C-alpha cells in the first residue's frame, strides 16, 4: 500500500514538474519569437554589433584601426564572427541576428540542464532549466544583439567540460581531450566578451585543489593558447587588436551609487532563483549529504558568476555583468536538492518534491514577470524615424552622426562613427580620432546629426552653428522611451514625419 501511494505521489510530482517547466520554456520561446521578428533595435547599441559583423565581412581592416572614429571592435571577434552568416546575404537584419542569439540561448538552456543532470535527476534538471529562464525581465537580455548571450553560452559549455566531479582532492582528473576542449571554449567566451576572464577563472583555479597535474596542464595550455591567439590577432590587425582595448581605460569612470541601484534592480527580479539556490544549499549542508553538498563543483559556477560583480559600478554598466548568476544558482539549487545515495524508496523520493517546488516557483516567477516587448507604437515610431533618416541621407548623400541609436548607421550603410554612451568619456580623455567628429561638425560634413546621449561642449557648440533642430522622436526600448534630437544641416532641413501613433515632434523644443 505504501509503495502504491508513493508511486502515485511520485507520478503527480513528476507530471507537475514537467508541465510547469514546459510552460515556462514555451512561454519564453513565444515571447522570444515576438522579439526576434521585431526589425528595429530594442537596445540603442544593437546597431553597433550588427555593424561590426557587416564590417568583418566587407571591411575587416576598419575594425581595428588606430582610431576611435569609426568606432573599433573593442570586444573581440567572437560576436561579429557569430553574426557574420546573418549579414552575409542581403542587408544586415536584426531579426536574422536575433535568430543567432536565440540559438545561443537555447544552447545555454541545454547546458544548464546538462550541468544539473550531472548530479540531479532528469526531472530536477528540467526544473533548474526552467528556473534559470523564468525571470523574463532579465533573461530577455539573451536575445539582444550584444555579446552577453553568446559569452554566457561559451562559459556554460566550458563549465560542462571543465567542472570536476567534486571539489575534493583526487576526485577527478583532466584528460588531454577535456583540457583542449575546455581551453577552446574558454577562449571563445573571452573573445566574445572580456569579462569571461573573470567568470572562467574559478573553472581553472578549482583544479589546483582537485588535481595539481590537471591544473598545471590546463593553466599552461590556456596560457599558451591565449598568447598564440593574441599574437595571431595582433598580426592580422597590424597591432590594432590590443591597441583598441585602451577604450576600457578611457571609459573607466566609477559610481558607487550606480552599483547599488543595479544590485537592487537585479535582486528584486532574480530573488526567486537566488533564494532557491540558497535554500536548497542550506538544507543540503544540514542533511545526510552535507559533505557532498559542500564539495559540489557547481559552487565554482556561482563564484565565477559573481566574479564580475564589482564591475557594475563602472559608468555605462548594467545588470548583464551578473546575469550568469541565474543559471549558476539554478544548477546549484538542483544539484543540492538531489536525493543523496541510499535514500529510502518506500516514500516519494525527496528530489521529486524539490523538483516540483522549483518548477512551480519557476512558473509563478515567469507568470509574474513582464517580458519586455515592443508595442505597435514603438514599431510605428521606429519605422517613421529610420525612414526619415534613410530618405534624408539618400537625398543629402550623408554621412550622418548618431550619438545613439547606432542602428541609424546601419540603415544608411555607414560605419559607426562613435559608440554613443562612451563618447563623452572617450573624447574627454582625448582618444585618437575623436577630434574628427568636432571637425566634421564644424565643416558641415555631416548632413544629419542624431543625439540622445551627452556630448562634449565643443560638439554642442558646432552643432548650434551649422545645424538646425528639427524636432525629436521618442523611440521605445526595453527600458522605456528615449528622446532622440534630430538636427539636419541648416541647408538640408526637412520636417519630421507626423502620423497617428508616431511619437515624433516637429520644429519645437
Closest to 376 measured CA to CA, from 200, 229, 502, 488: 502
Q: Above 70 in pLDDT, residue 375? A: yes
The pLDDT tens digits for 208-236 are 999 999 999 999 999 999 999 999 999 99
Phi, psi of 476 (to 5 degrees): -95, 130
Q: Above 50 in pLDDT, residue 16? A: yes
Q: Above 80 in pLDDT, residue 250? A: no
Q: Above 90 in pLDDT, residue 41? A: yes
Cell of 400: 550622418
- Is residue 500 left, alpha or beta, with left meaning phi > 0 and alpha meaning psi from -120 to 50? beta
Quote the strand ranges of 129-216, DSSP E: none
Q: Above 70 in pLDDT, residue 1? A: no
SS (H, E, C) 94-137: HHHHHHHHHHHHHHHHHHHHHHHHCCCCHHHHHHHHHHHHCCHH
Q: Which residues pair with residue 314 across a beta bridge?
A: 254
CA 19, CA 17: separation in Å to the nearest integer?
A: 6
pLDDT band at 247 (very low <50, low <70, confident <90, very high): confident
pLDDT band at 427 (very low <50, low <70, confident <90, very high): very high
Mean pLDDT of the chain: 92
Report the pLDDT value the prediction gives residue 209, as an integer from 0 to 100: 94
Report the pLDDT value the prediction gives residue 508, as an integer from 0 to 100: 43
Contacts of 470 (CB under 8 A, 6+ apart): 486, 487, 488, 493, 494, 495, 496, 506, 507
The pLDDT tens digits for 251-275 are 666 778 888 899 999 999 999 999 9
pLDDT band at 398 (very low <50, low <70, confident <90, very high): confident
Report the pLDDT value the prediction gives residue 90, as an integer from 0 to 100: 77
The pLDDT tens digits for 126-155 are 999 999 999 999 999 999 999 999 999 999
Report the pLDDT value the prediction gives residue 415, as an integer from 0 to 100: 96
Report the pLDDT value the prediction gives residue 347, as an integer from 0 to 100: 46
- Indicate the domain borders of the chain: 2-39+93-243+251-368, 376-505
The pLDDT tens digits for 434-450 are 999 999 999 999 999 99
Q: Above 50 in pLDDT, residue 341? A: no
CA 434, CA 287: separation in Å to the nearest integer?
A: 61
Q: What percent of the chain stands above pLDDT 90? A: 82
Burial of 203 (0-12, 13-18, 19+ CB in 10 A): buried
DSSP secondary structure letters along 345-398: SSS--HHHHHHHHHHHHHHHHHHHS------HHHHHHHHHHHHHHHHHHHHH--
Contacts of 181 (CB under 8 A, 6+ apart): 161
Amino acid at each position: 500500500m505504501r509503495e502504491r501511494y508513493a508511486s502515485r505521489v511520485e507520478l503527480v510530482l513528476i507530471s507537475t514538474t514537467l508541465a510547469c517547466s514546459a510552460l515556462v520554456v514555451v512561454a519564453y520561446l513565444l515571447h522570444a519569437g515576438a522579439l526576434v521578428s521585431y526589425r528595429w533595435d530594442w537596445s540603442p547599441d544593437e546597431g553597433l554589433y550588427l555593424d561590426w559583423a557587416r564590417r568583418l565581412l566587407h571591411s575587416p581592416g576598419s575594425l581595428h584601426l588606430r582610431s576611435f572614429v569609426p568606432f573599433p571592435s573593442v570586444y573581440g571577434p567572437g560576436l561579429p564572427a557569430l553574426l557574420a552568416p546573418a549579414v552575409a546575404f542581403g542587408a544586415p537584419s536584426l531579426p536574422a541576428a536575433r535568430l543567432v542569439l536565440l540559438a545561443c540561448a537555447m544552447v545555454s538552456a541545454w547546458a544548464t540542464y546538462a550541468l544539473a543532470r550531472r548530479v540531479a535527476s532528469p526531472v530536477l534538471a528540467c526544473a533548474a532549466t526552467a528556473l534559470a529562464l523564468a525571470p523574463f525581465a532579465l533573461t530577455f537580455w539573451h536575445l539582444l544583439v550584444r555579446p552577453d548571450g553568446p559569452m554566457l553560452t561559451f562559459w556554460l559549455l566550458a563549465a560542462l567540460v571543465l567542472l570536476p566531479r567534486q571539489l575534493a582532492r583526487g576526485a577527478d582528473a583532466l584528460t588531454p581531450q577535456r583540457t583542449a576542449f575546455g581551453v577552446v571554449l574558454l577562449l571563445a567566451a573571452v573573445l566574445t566578451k572580456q569579462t569571461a576572464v573573470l567568470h572562467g577563472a574559478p573553472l581553472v583555479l578549482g583544479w589546483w585543489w582537485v588535481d595539481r597535474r590537471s591544473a598545471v596542464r590546463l593553466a599552461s595550455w590556456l596560457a599558451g593558447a591565449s598568447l598564440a591567439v593574441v599574437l595571431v590577432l595582433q598580426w592580422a590587425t597590424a597591432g590594432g587588436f590590443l591597441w583598441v582595448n585602451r577604450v576600457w581605460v578611457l571609459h573607466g569612470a566609477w559610481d558607487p551609487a550606480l552599483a547599488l541601484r543595479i544590485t537592487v534592480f537585479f535582486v528584486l527580479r532574480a530573488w526567486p532563483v537566488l533564494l532557491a539556490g540558497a535554500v536548497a544549499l542550506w538544507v543540503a549542508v544540514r542533511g545526510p549529504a552535507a559533505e557532498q553538498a559542500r564539495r559540489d563543483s557547481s559552487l565554482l559556477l556561482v563564484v565565477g558568476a559573481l566574479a564580475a560583480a564589482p564591475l557594475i559600478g563602472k559608468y555605462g554598466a548594467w545588470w548583464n555583468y551578473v546575469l550568469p548568476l541565474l543559471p549558476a544558482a539554478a544548477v546549484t539549487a538542483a544539484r543540492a536538492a538531489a536525493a543523496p545515495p541510499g535514500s529510502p524508496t518506500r516514500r516519494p523520493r525527496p528530489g521529486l518534491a524539490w523538483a516540483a517546488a522549483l518548477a512551480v516557483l519557476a512558473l509563478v516567477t515567469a507568470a509574474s514577470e513582464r517580458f519586455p516587448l515592443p508595442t505597435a507604437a514603438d514599431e510605428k515610431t521606429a519605422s517613421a524615424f529610420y525612414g526619415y533618416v534613410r530618405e534624408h541621407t539618400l537625398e543629402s548623400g550623408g554621412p550622418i552622426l548618431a550619438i545613439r541609436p547606432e542602428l541609424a548607421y546601419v540603415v544608411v550603410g555607414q560605419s559607426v562613427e562613435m559608440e554613443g554612451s562612451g563618447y563623452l568619456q572617450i573624447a574627454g580623455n582625448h582618444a585618437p580620432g575623436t577630434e574628427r567628429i568636432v571637425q566634421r561638425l564644424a565643416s558641415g560634413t555631416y548632413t544629419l546629426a542624431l543625439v540622445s546621449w551627452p556630448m562634449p561642449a565643443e560638439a554642442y557648440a558646432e552643432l548650434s552653428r551649422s545645424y538646425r533642430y528639427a524636432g525629436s522622436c521618442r523611440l521605445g526600448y526595453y527600458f522605456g522611451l528615449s528622446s532622440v534630437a534630430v538636427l539636419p544641416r541648416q541647408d538640408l532641413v526637412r520636417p519630421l514625419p507626423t502620423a497617428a501613433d508616431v511619437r515624433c515632434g516637429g520644429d519645437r523644443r
